[in-house]
């Protein structure tokens, strides 16, 4: 990735005549730029029992668009619900994800924030 990379063109012509209708001339050592590929991030959130807080536990982090088996992963981040109240299917919003791994500089992360849903269940009470 970067600027002023040497590009070496090559190829052939498919003209249904074995390429004989055209002569190709390539300009070698042309400089170009390789830009970072944008990745799509997502996460899942754990359900929780009411604890008076709006925090979300991020269960999994996933990246879509990584080339082959390159070493790049989604790291960090924090998530919160809109409020702390009990409800099913609440939206949790995450921010501050980053890329990690040896190939991370070949990629850029789509702009967040990112969302997932989870439940806040009622806290059990013991009455005596």
Q: pLDDT of 68-107, one tens digit each? A: 999 999 999 999 999 999 999 999 999 999 999 999 999 9
- For residues 60 and 6, give the distance between their C-alpha atoms in angstroms, rounded to a whole number: 39
Spell out where the chain has E strands: 2-7, 30-34, 37-45, 48-49, 55-56, 58-64, 73-81, 87-100, 107-109, 114-121
Given a cut of 70, whether residue 2 has pLDDT beyond it is no
What is the reported pLDDT for 17?
Answer: 75
Per the CB < 8 A criterion, the answer to whether 46 and 15 are in contact is: no
- For residues 75 and 33, give the distance between their C-alpha atoms in angstroms, rounded to a whole number: 27
Looking at residue 22, the DSSP 8-state letter turns out to be -
- For residues 56 and 60, give the distance between their C-alpha atoms in angstroms, rounded to a whole number: 12
| Chain segment 43-71, per-residue pLDDT in tens | 999 999 999 999 999 999 999 999 999 99
- Of how many residues is the chain composed? 128
Q: What is the DSSP string of 92-128?
A: EEEEEEEEESTTGGGEEEPP--EEEEEEEEPPP----
């Amino acid at each position: 990735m970067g600027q002023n990379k040497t590009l070496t063109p090559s190829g052939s012509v498919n003209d249904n005549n074995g390429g004989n209708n055209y002569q190709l001339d390539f300009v070698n050592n042309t400089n170009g730029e390789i830009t970072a590929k944008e990745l799509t991030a997502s996460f899942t959130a754990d359900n929780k029992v009411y604890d008076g807080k709006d925090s979300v536990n991020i269960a999994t982090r996933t990246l879509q668009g990584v080339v082959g088996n390159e070493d790049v992963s989604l790291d960090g981040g924090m998530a919160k619900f809109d409020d702390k109240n009990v409800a099913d299917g609440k939206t949790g919003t995450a921010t501050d994800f980053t890329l990690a791994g040896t190939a991370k500089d070949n990629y850029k992360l789509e702009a967040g924030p990112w969302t997932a849903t989870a439940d806040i269940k009622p806290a059990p009470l013991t009455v005596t």
